[in-house]
Structure 1
């Protein structure tokens, strides 16, 4: 029987060839347009119109307009888009290798570990001059996320099994690890100076309000790494969506591919979290929205990233217009993500019983 991939259009760049799914491409283009529109609206709020913002970004602004847009509004909007894209990519990768919609950086303890590292850098370093101050928030968040992922993997590892062999065990360990790490974060906040604790608390909720050009590189690196891996490993990732046995039969080195993808997801999520805090449920919502819109069997990583960017940008616009002033963007995403998580848990449980 011939493979259905043989009848799909392909795109070739040098030695690499990718199969093009027209519907996934269309959904991705729509998400990119929505993110671009939300980006212009976010920059224009309280200042001018999206059309004028586009003119200024294209080099037609006055000196005063350039200062307002390029130095103040643009970094915040870029951080919102890049962080949303990074979290969407990381969530799609973890859901893909485990084949479970509940296996996201939020529930596996990755973002909680990154939060511990970042809060330690903000509080311990600033208050007492300890080593976290020398690391900086991005590096501390990355180390915290890696440590949490290593602990999760060690506790769920079974000899001779793959990472996704027991997703229920993986998720339960991740939930327990998340609770422990959140307790540690609370301890660090309780021991911190008042100003440092307030700064860390704003970061924990997930906010882009204090975004600056200093944290843009970390978010941009997260997106670049996630996109590069999604493109380079596209064939193997797509094959993994067919199941471990099928992927192994088609020549995929399942164990190394899953481990490498998990490592990439951890780094992407930790770097994204370091830029704006653990914006809740983006890693859960974006892949599932992309999956349903694209009607694909597994979450498409790049499309999930674009949907994540649109989600966070739209949530930022919402918190600055329709909601009370000063609310962090994480409040809006949590308000949507909480009910969606309950829905996913119910549907997953029904499938398991059936």
Structure 2
């Protein structure tokens, strides 16, 4: 007697194979569409908020400017009192704050994606501290204010970045590639140590400064938009025209590293090379902003997690740059208008806002750190 197997298995298998593919693709397309819509809304919303804050910063405050007067001033008409306040104080501070915030925010996005650590920022990695030490060294040792301090800040930031990278590659995780090494606690500890050394160097150098230079350093190291001039703004804008597109390209090239070093290599990516490039570009961004207006504390640290919250956890360098710009413009407005008759350094407010966030991130990350 011949027996046959039940015919039910073959008919059931075919529909599952033919139906699973289109359904899965549709689900993936739906998720991607929702992610794109959320990203578009986040970027559009941040742009609108930034424009609104810029308008508030320029038009409102202890000295208010009407929109028609503002338009006339931009058109070249001189209005006694108002023209000077707008063109030499309010507008430069607003534009400078937006540019510096964008630079710090983009720098924070690069460091966060490269190091894969929520505490990764130019502040904790010593980049801002190294830039500050370089600027003060240029003034104290070479009597080079202005452009000399800017060059010193760039050199100091890059030297610090090189030291941090050297420590990262020599750490215990270095055998897993540069990217995995940079994700270890070695980088954070090295950055904190370098930042402390930079603070000691600055403190030692200021002892030999005269009263005028000491006042310049005091204002600069606190992070103040009161130094905003069209010359500084132009220099920073030219730097960002070059650095921001580079930062965007490097940030996008690091996307495969989010899947892990092994899988990234399997896909043909080279996270070590792009990680080094990200560190260099991020250091240049932070150093350029620091050279212009001083070390605005914790802007990079604040911008990246806030941007990821708005984009649903998707890393986005434009979102981080916009959030950084919003933070600095808002902080500068509050620093100028919060206490009548008193103008606080902008860096004091960003530092006050960033310190609790840093402690919260540290508590969340203590299992890994």
TM superposition score category, shorter chain reference: 0.7 to 0.9
Distance 1:297 1:73, change over 3 A: closer
Q: Retained in 2: the 8 A contact 1:280–1:334?
A: yes
1:43 aligns with 2:58: yes
The corresponding residue for 1:273 is: 290
Deviations 1:282-317 (A, max 9, x none): 01000110011111243x111101000000000111
The corresponding residue for 2:21 is: none
Structure 1 segments unaligned to the other structure (5+ residues): 10-19, 127-131
Q: Retained in 2: the 8 A contact 1:123–1:197?
A: no
Equivalent residue in structure 2 for 1:243, among 255, 260, 269: 260
1:74 aligns with 2:91: yes
Q: Retained in 1: the 8 A contact 2:250–2:277?
A: no
The two structures, once aligned, show a CA RMSD in angstroms of 2.6
Q: Which residues of 2 match residues 274-289 of structure 1 at below 5 A?
A: 274-289=291-306
Distance 1:4 1:316, change over 3 A: same
User: Any idea what SS the aligned residue of 1:214 has?
Assistant: helix
Please give the alpha-carbon distance, in whole angstroms, between the structure 1 residues aligned to 2:146 and 2:73.
Answer: 35
1:157 aligns with 2:169: yes
The corresponding residue for 1:231 is: 248
Equivalent residue in structure 1 for 2:318, among 295, 299, 302: 302
The corresponding residue for 1:313 is: 329
Normalized against structure 1, the TM-score is what? 0.87
Structure 2 segments unaligned to the other structure (5+ residues): 1-23
Please give the alpha-carbon distance, in whole angstroms, between the structure 1 residues aligned to 2:311 and 2:140.
Answer: 43
Please give the alpha-carbon distance, in whole angstroms, between the structure 2 residues aligned to 1:334 and 1:143.
Answer: 24
Equivalent residue in structure 2 for 1:23, among 13, 31, 38: 38
Normalized against structure 2, the TM-score is what? 0.83
Q: Retained in 1: the 8 A contact 2:113–2:251?
A: no
User: Any idea what SS the aligned residue of 2:297 has?
Assistant: coil
Would you say how many aligned residue pairs link Structure 1 and Structure 2? 337
Q: Retained in 2: the 8 A contact 1:240–1:247?
A: yes
Q: Retained in 2: the 8 A contact 1:32–1:307?
A: no
Q: Retained in 1: the 8 A contact 2:256–2:264?
A: yes
Please give the alpha-carbon distance, in whole angstroms, between the structure 2 residues aligned to 1:341 and 1:185.
Answer: 24
Q: Which residues of 2 match residues 85-124 of structure 1 at below 5 A?
A: 85-124=102-141
C-alpha displacement of 1:46: 3.4
Q: Which has the larger radius of gyration?
A: 2
1:174 aligns with 2:191: yes
C-alpha displacement of 1:237: 2.6
Deviations 1:228-249 (A, max 9, x none): 0243345423222232222222
Please give the alpha-carbon distance, in whole angstroms, between the structure 2 residues aligned to 1:88 and 1:235.
Answer: 16
The corresponding residue for 1:197 is: 214
1:33 aligns with 2:48: yes
The corresponding residue for 2:142 is: 125
C-alpha displacement of 1:167: 2.5
Distance 1:81 1:50, change over 3 A: farther
C-alpha displacement of 1:116: 0.7
C-alpha displacement of 1:133: 5.2
Please give the alpha-carbon distance, in whole angstroms, between the structure 2 residues aligned to 1:186 and 1:210.
Answer: 21
